[in-house]
Amino acid sequence: MRAVVFDLDGTLIDSLPDIATAVNHVLTWRRLEPLPAAQVEGMIGDGAKVLLDRAFAARGAEARGEDMAVFMDWYTVHGTDETRPYPGMVDALAALRKAGHKLGVCTNKPEVAAREILASLALDRYFEVVTGGDSTPYRKPDSRHLAATLAALGAQEAVMVGDHFNDMAAASGCGIPGIFAAWGYGTAQADFVAQNASELPGLVGGLGLTGGAE
C-alpha cells in the first residue's frame, strides 16, 4: 500500500493570513505592536508555542502561559476566515486518491485544530489519518512523529510532501522520499521539488516508491 503524507500549513493550505491575525491579536492584547504577515511567515512550522515565542521575541518580550490560551481561543473561531487550499490542491488530492494512494496529514499544529480546519475546507474526506503536534510525544523534525502517521496508515511505501526543513528531515529519518512544496513558507534541501500542487500526482507516480517506517 502506497501512502502520501502531507504537511498542513504552507503545503495543503495557505493559512498565513489567519495565523498572522491570531498572532497579532495576542500581541495587541499584551499591548505590543503587531507584526507584518511576511515576518510571521518565517516563524511558522514548529507549532503554536514556538510561533508565539518567536513573535514575542521579535517584540523584545516573552510569551506567557495565558498567551497560548488567548491565541487558541481566537484561532479556533477565526482559523478559516481567510485560509484556503492552495490552487490545484483539491484536484491533486483527488487524482492521488484515484491512483490508489492512501493519504494522511502529519502536522505540528494541534490535532483538533488541524481536523477542524480540514473539515471546514472540505478536505477531511481525502485523508484517512491526521496526526497533530500533540498526537504523539514527538514533533517533526523527529521522524517518530511521521513514523506514527505511517503506522496508522498501514503504509509500507510512502512519500512526504512538505514546505519545511522539518518535513524533509522527518522523511529522511523514516527512509522515505520527500517532495518539497516550493509554494510554501519554509526552505529545505530536497531531491524532489514541486513548483505547484498540480505537479504532485506526476511526481508521486514517478518516484518508484520504496521503503517505509521501521
The answer to whether residue 214 scores a pLDDT higher than 70 is no
**Residue 2: predicted pLDDT:** 85
Average pLDDT of 206-211? 59
> SS3 of 96, please?
helix
Q: Tell me the domains of the chain and their CATH numbers.
A: 2-14+84-205 (3.40.50.1000), 16-78 (1.10.150.240)
Query: 211's torsion region: left (phi>0), alpha (psi -120 to 50) or beta?
Result: left
- What CA–CA distances, in Å, run from 146 to 31, 55, 88, 157, 163? 38, 27, 25, 13, 15
**Residue 136: predicted pLDDT:** 96
pLDDT in tens, 52-78: 999 999 999 999 989 999 999 999 999
Secondary structure of the chain: what % helix, strand, coil (to 5)? 45, 15, 40
From CA 143, how far away is CA 154, in angstroms rounded?
16
| pLDDT band at residue 209 using 50, 70 and 90 as cut-offs | very low
Query: 206's torsion region: left (phi>0), alpha (psi -120 to 50) or beta?
Result: alpha
DSSP collapsed to 3 states, 18-36:
HHHHHHHHHHHHCCCCCCC
The residues that are catalytic are 7
**Residue 208: predicted pLDDT:** 58
The answer to whether residue 29 scores a pLDDT higher than 90 is yes
Tell me the pLDDT of the chain averaged across its residues: 94
**Residue 156: predicted pLDDT:** 81
Residues in a beta bridge with 171? none
**Residue 191: predicted pLDDT:** 87
From CA 49, how far away is CA 79, in angstroms rounded?
16
The answer to whether residue 98 scores a pLDDT higher than 60 is yes
